[in-house]
């Protein structure tokens, strides 16, 4: 039997200043509390929170954007290596080679390598100022299987998870930041990919007041294996 113990963090987003240090402390605390964890998943924008008007958020994204070989990624690689887990630290704001902004999910292996990166194909227009990605992404965990990546609004387009399944993904991880009242509709959508592709989907999102919560993994039969309520976990 192939087992992948996954810990999904339903936690509030962090402002970029000090976010990586806060993340490191949280990762080490969680891994210490749940030592069987092999993969740790955080919500979309977890270390790259922006607020204010659309123009103000775009300005903040421009300021925090870094390439994937920048200092933020080096620090995230160190955290994964220190914790010894597959770390999905939410999404980061990536500076592209032509100055573009991408909303990018990254995967760090237990030895601190950048195992995969995925640029969100369907930014939530017109709210998100990001360039769309142009490639589907999977990565392999030895002796476990193949994992696909999607981000938040991608879930509304069935082709995304279906294509990941065609690429061999048995699990699809979907870091999410939902700030609107349609989380229940998203949960309906989250049930659809497992029932149509035979893969398992997992979505991690922010608790109130930053979001509606309801982080949840879904089995290949579209059953919820667990479901976290809207509030934050107890301290």
List pLDDT tens digits, range 41-59.
999 999 999 999 999 999 9
pLDDT of residue 2: 85
Across the range 100-113, mean pLDDT stands at: 98
Omega cis (within 30) before 209: yes
**Model pLDDT, residue 10:** 84
Q: How many Å is the maximal CA-CA distance in the chain?
A: 50
- Residue 27 pLDDT > 80: yes
What integer pLDDT is reported at residue 212 of this predicted model? 47
Residue of higher predicted confidence among 229 and 108: 108
CA distance 160 to 14: 28
**pLDDT value for 209:** 46
pTM of the predicted protein model: 0.83
Residue 223 confidence (pLDDT) above 50: no
pLDDT for residue 161? 87
Strands (E), 62-177: 86-88, 91-95, 101-108, 114-119, 138-141, 145-149, 171-175
Tens of pLDDT, residues 56-87 = 999 999 999 999 999 999 999 999 999 999 99
Task: Please give the backbone phi and psi of residue 116, each rounded to the nearest 5 degrees, phi first.
Answer: -165, 155
Q: Where are the domains of the chain?
A: 6-218
- Catalytic residue list: 44, 120, 152
Cα distance between residue 85 and residue 80, in whole Å? 6
- Between residues 53 and 223, the one the model is more confident about: 53
Q: pLDDT at residue 226 above 50?
A: no
pLDDT digits (tens, 9 = 90+) for 139-195: 999 999 999 999 988 988 888 988 998 999 988 899 988 765 565 665 656 555 554
Distant-in-sequence, close-in-space partners of 116: CB < 8 Å, separation ≥ 6: 106, 107, 137, 138, 139, 149
| Average predicted confidence (pLDDT) for the chain | 84
pLDDT tops 80 at residue 90: yes
Alpha helix segments (H runs only) across the chain: 19-33, 54-64, 71-83, 158-166, 183-197
Which CATH topology does 6-218 take?
Nitrilase/N-carbamoyl-D-aminoacid amidohydrolase (3.60.110)
């Amino acid at each position: 039997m192939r087992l992948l113990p996954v810990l999904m963090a339903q936690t509030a987003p962090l402002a970029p200043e000090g976010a990586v240090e806060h993340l490191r402390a949280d990762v080490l605390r969680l891994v210490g509390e749940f030592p069987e964890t092999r993969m740790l998943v955080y919500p979309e924008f977890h270390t790259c929170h922006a607020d204010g008007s659309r123009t103000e958020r775009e300005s903040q994204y421009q300021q925090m954007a870094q390439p994937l070989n920048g200092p933020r990624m080096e620090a995230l690689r160190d955290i994964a290596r220190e914790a010894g887990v597959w770390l999905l630290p939410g999404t980061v704001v990536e500076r592209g080679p032509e100055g573009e902004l991408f909303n990018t999910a990254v995967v760090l292996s237990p030895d601190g390598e950048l195992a995969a990166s995925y640029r969100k194909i369907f930014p939530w227009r017109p709210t998100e100022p990001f360039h769309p990605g142009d490639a589907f992404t999977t990565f392999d965990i030895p002796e476990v299987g193949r994992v696909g990546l999607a981000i938040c609004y991608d879930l509304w387009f069935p082709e995304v998870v279906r294509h990941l399944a065609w690429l061999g993904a048995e699990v699809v991880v979907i870091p999410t930041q939902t700030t609107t009242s349609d989380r229940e509709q998203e949960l309906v959508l989250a049930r659809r990919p497992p029932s149509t592709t035979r893969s398992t989907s997992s979505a991690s999102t922010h608790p109130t007041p930053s979001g509606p919560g309801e982080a949840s993994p879904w089995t290949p039969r579209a059953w919820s294996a667990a479901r976290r309520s809207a509030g934050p976990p107890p301290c």
